[in-house]
Amino acid sequence: MTTPERTVLVAGNWKMHGTRAEAVAWAAAAHETAMAGPHEVAVFPPAPWLEAVIAAAGAGSPLGVGGQACHPEPKGAFTGAVSAGMLADLGCRYVLCGHSERRHVFGETDEFVAASLGAALEAGLTPVLCVGETAEERAAGQTEAVLARQLDAGLGAVRSAADPLVVAYEPVWAIGSGNPATPTEAAEAHGFLRARIAANDPERAAAVRILYGGSVKASNIGGFLAVSDVDGALVGGAALDPESFAQIACAEAGAGA
């Protein structure tokens, strides 16, 4: 929900999808959406397409572009990894830190995620810290404990009040499952995250954007945006179709709910 302090951000995470030609077409469409729509729009393409996507959006485009992950070290013998400085050098504005697939498929720990977040800040990028519980953790009543642990680790890498930060609440069970959290579940988790940030830094808590992610579609985005602590969305599958992404990125609170 838009507040005076917080602009809604709708971001598309393309994961490992798309040819170069598709990425260029999707970027051009997302640029048009960013130009026309009421919200800030960003995309997270596969690393090999970042340069083409940034070029397709064009100089001065309001479309934000980000990397899907970065390594904590600025350089070194880390085959296959991408540094935050490399992403910044390409013209990226954002980077995802600790997306669920990085944590659960690639084994990134809280410590690694925090270090990558610190590296992102060092490089001048805005980190998008992704947090979220598994189905088992939710069933065991551990949702808040998991969110607290992942949030605290990430916040530990923030150096100053001026450092930019976006948080994304993405319950693991909702990602790619077609089974989104309910707006009520999102409200509980987002409220918990904002209160926890406020305990140490009320100003950051008021300003930080907390995105919801996990099976967001054009038909359910309005319900999420109607939640006062939801400041946008991180969209996976539905971001791969420019038309559905445009509908999501232009949605108003309550629409389609």
Binding status of residue 176 toward ligand PGA by CB under 6 A: yes
Give whichever of 112 and 245 is closer to ligand PGA, judged by the CB atom.
Answer: 245
Residue 29 in contact with residue 21, Cβ under 8 Å?
no
Which of 159, 155, 132 shows the shortest CA–CA distance to 215? 132
Of 185, 195, 231, 239, residue with least CA distance to 210: 231
Among 41, 175, 230, 246, binds ligand PGA (CB under 6 A): 175
Q: Cα angle at 68 between 253 and 85, to 5 degrees?
A: 120
The least CB distance from residue 5 to ligand PGA, in Å, is: 24
Q: Catalytic one among 31, 39, 71, 99?
A: 99
Mark the segment that binds ligand PGA (CB under 6 A) among 62-70, 105-113, 191-199, 213-221: 213-221
If one asks whether residue 216 binds ligand PGA (CB under 6 A), the answer comes out as yes
Residue 223, H or E segment? helix 221-225
Active site residue 17: no
With contacts defined by CB under 6 A, name the span among 70-78, 121-129, 141-149, 235-243 that binds ligand PGA: 235-243
For residues 69 and 85, which CB has a smaller minimum distance to ligand PGA in the complex?
69
Of 40, 170, 185, 190, which one is the catalytic site residue? 170
Region at 178 (left for phi over 0; alpha for psi -120 to 50; beta for the rest): left
Interaction of residue 133 with ligand PGA, rule CB under 6 A: no
The Cα 203–Cα 19 span in angstroms is: 42
With 0-12 CB in 10 A as exposed, 13-18 as middle and 19+ as buried, what is 34? Answer: buried
We find the least distance from the C-beta atom of residue 97 to ligand PGA, in angstroms, to be 13
- Does 223 participate in binding ligand PGA (rule CB under 6 A)? no
In whole angstroms, what is the distance from residue 118 CA to residue 188 CA?
Answer: 28
Candidate residues 37, 183, 237, 242; the one interacting with ligand PGA per rule CB under 6 A: 237
235 near ligand PGA (CB under 6 A): yes
Whole-angstrom Cα distance, residue 234 to residue 191? Answer: 17
Q: Report, in Å, the least distance between residue 107 CB and ligand PGA.
A: 17
18 binds ligand PGA (CB under 6 A): no
Query: Is 136 part of the annotated catalytic residue set?
Result: no
In contact, 220 and 180? CB cutoff 8 Å: yes
- Toward ligand PGA, which CB reaches closer, 85 or 97? 97
Helix, strand, coil percent values for the chain (each to nearest 5): 45, 15, 40
Counting residues that bind ligand PGA (by CB under 6 A) gives 13
By beta-carbon proximity to ligand PGA, the closer residue of 131 and 238 is: 238
Greatest C-alpha distance within the chain = 49
- Could you say which of 37, 214, 223, 232 contacts ligand PGA (CB under 6 A)? 214
The set of catalytic residues is: 99, 170
The footprint of ligand PGA (CB under 6 A) covers 13, 170, 175-176, 213-216, 234-238
